Structure 1
Amino acid sequence: MHRATVSVSLILLGAAVYAGASEPDRRPDWRRFAEGFEIPSEGYCDQPYVVLTRDGAWLCVMTTGPGREGDRGQHIVATRSTDKGRTWTPLVSIEPSDGPEASWAMPLATPSGRVYVFYTYNRDNLRDNGALIGRRDRVDTLGYYAYKYSDDGGRTWSRERYYIPLRNLFFDYKNPLGKDVHLFWGIGKPIVDRGDVFLGAAKIAYFGYGFMPEDRGIILHSPNILTEPDPRKHRWVMLPEGDQGLGSVNGPVCDEHNLVALSDGTLYVMARTVEGHPVHYYSRDRGRTFTAPEYARYSPGGRLIRHPRACPRIWKTSNGRYLFWFHNNGHRWYSSGEAAGSRNLAWLSGGVEIGGKLHWSQPELVRYVDNFLEGCSYPDLIEQDGRYYLTATQKTEARVGEIPAEWLEMLWSQFERKEVARDGLAAEFRADSLRPGASLPMPALPNLASGGGFTLELRLRMTYADPNQILFESTREDGAGVRVRTVWCHALEISISDGERSFSWQSDPGLVGPDEPHSVAFIVDGGPKLLSVVVDGRLCDGGASDAR
Structure 2
Amino acid sequence: MRIKFTLRPSHFLLFSVVFWTFAGKIDPVIAQSGDWRNIKNGRIIPDKSYSDQPYIVKTDDGAWLCVMTTGSGHEGATGQHIISQRSFDQGITWEEIIEIEPSDGPEASYAVLLKATSGRVFVFYNHNTDNLREVKGDDPPYKDGIVKRVDSQGYYVFKYSDDNGQSWSKQRYTIPVREFEIDRKNPYKGDIRFFWNVGKAFSHEGSAFVPLTKVGGFGNGFFTSNEGVLLKSDNLFDVADPADANWNTLPDGDIGLRTPENGGPIAAEHSYSILSDGSFFVVYRSLDGHPVYSYSRDQGRTWDKPQYMRFADGRLMKNPRAANFAWKCENGKFLYWFHNHGGRFIREHPNPGSIGYNDRNPVWMAGGVEVDGKDGKVIQWSQPEILLYDDDPLVRMSYPDLMEEGGNYFITETQKDIARVHQIDNAFLERLWGQFEEPIPVRDGLLINWSGKGKSLPQKLPAPAVPNFRVRDTNTADYRGKSTNAGFTIELGFLLYEVKEGQVLADTRDASGKGWWVGVSDKNNLTFQMNDGQTEVGWSSDPGTIQPNTQHQVSILIDGGPNIFAFVTDGQLNDGGAHRQFGWGRFSPYFKSPEGSKTLLLGSRIKGELSYVSFFDRALMVSEVLASQRCKE
Q: Give the TM-score of the pair, scaled to structure 1.
A: 0.91
- One-letter amino acid matched to 1:511: T
The match for 1:243 among 254, 260, 264 is: 254
Partner of 1:352: 369
SS in 2 for 1:180: coil
**CA shift in 2, pair 1:119/1:338, >3 Å:** closer
| 1:78-117 aligned within 5 A | 78-117=84-123
* Residue type at the aligned position of 1:198: F
Aligned to 1:374: 395
**Gapped runs of 5+ residues in structure 2?**
1-25, 471-482, 583-633
Q: Comparing 66-75 with 502-511, which one deviates more in the overlay? A: 502-511
Query: Per-residue CA shift, 1:179-226, capped at 9, x if unaligned?
Result: 232211111311223333223221011111111101111112222223
In 2, Cα distance between the equivalents of 1:272 and 1:228? Answer: 35
Whole-angstrom distance in 2 between the partners of 1:317 and 1:70: 33
**Would you say 1:385 and 2:406 are equivalent positions?**
yes
Tell me if structure 2 keeps the 8 A contact 1:141–1:183: yes
Counterpart of 2:541 in structure 1 is 507
Deviations along 1:406-463, one digit per CA (max 9) or x if unpaired, are: 2111111101233443222232222159753433222322222322111111122333
1:425 matched to 2:438? The reply is no
Correspondence for 2:360: 343
CA distance in 2, matches of 1:513, 1:50: 49
TM-score (norm. length: structure 2): 0.79
Q: Find out whether 1:448 has 2:469 as its counterpart.
A: yes
- Which residue type is aligned with residue 126 of structure 1? L
Pick aligned residue for 2:267 from 251, 254, 262: 254
**Alignment counterpart, residue 479 of structure 1, candidates 513, 520, 529:** 513
SS in 1 for 2:181: coil
Q: How far off is 1:502 after superposition?
A: 0.9
- The percent identity for this pair of structures is 44
1:323 equivalent in alignment to 2:335: yes
Aligned-partner Cα distance in 2 for 1:422–1:366: 23
Residue by residue over 1:501-541, the C-alpha shift from the partner in whole angstroms, topping out at 9 and shown as x without a partner, is 11121111222323333221111111111111111221100
Q: Once the 2 structures are TM-superposed, how far is the Cα of residue 341 of structure 1 from its aligned partner?
A: 4.6
1:439 aligns with 2:460: yes
Instruction: Decide whether the 8 Å contact of 1:188 with 1:380 is kept in 2.
Output: no
Runs of 4+ in 1 over 6 A off after TM superposition: 333-337
Deviation string for 1:353-372 (max 9, x for gaps)? 11122111000000111221
Which residue of 2 is the match for residue 263 of structure 1? Answer: 276
CA gap 1:339/1:206 in 2 versus in 1, 3 angstroms: closer
Tell me if 1:72 matches 2:89: no
Contact 2:221 2:354 in 1 (8 A): no
Q: Equivalents in 2 of 1:539, 1:181: separation in Å?
A: 46
Please say if 1:306 is aligned against 2:318. yes
Of 181, 194, 213, which residue of structure 1 is paired with 2:205? 194
1:131-169, CA deviations, whole angstroms, 9 ceiling, x for partnerless residues? 575455310011111000111111110000112211111
How far apart, in 2, do the equivalents of 1:401 and 1:206 lie? 36
In structure 1, the partner of 2:422 is 401
1:531 and 2:565 correspond = yes
The 2-side partners of 1:339 and 1:469 are apart by 38
Q: Map residues 457-496 of structure 1 onto 2, 5 A cutoff.
A: 457-496=491-530
CA shift at 1:27, angstroms? 4.5
Q: Does the Cα contact within 8 Å between 1:62 and 1:105 map onto a contact in 2?
A: yes
SS of 1:142's equivalent in the other structure is coil
Offset, 1:130? 5.4
Structure 2: distance between partners of 1:420 and 1:204: 50
- The answer (yes or no) to whether the contact 2:86–2:165 under 8 Å persists in 1 is yes
RMSD: 2.3
Candidates 39, 43, 46, aligned match of 1:37: 43
Q: Offset of 1:478 from its aligned partner? A: 1.5
Deviation at 1:78, TM superposition (A): 0.4
> Structure 1 pair 91/349, CA: closer, same or farther in 2 (3 Å)?
same
Distance (Å, rounded) in 1 between the aligned partners of 2:269 and 2:134: 24
Read off the aligned partner of 1:150 and give its amino acid letter. S
- The answer to whether 1:291 aligns with 2:308 is no
Range with greater deviation from structure 2 (442-451 or 528-537): 442-451
Deviation per CA, 1:458-485: give whole Å up to 9, x if none.
Answer: 1223333333211111122221111001
- Rounded to whole Å, the distance in 2 between the matches of 1:29 and 1:231 is 46
Letter in 1 for 2:359: S
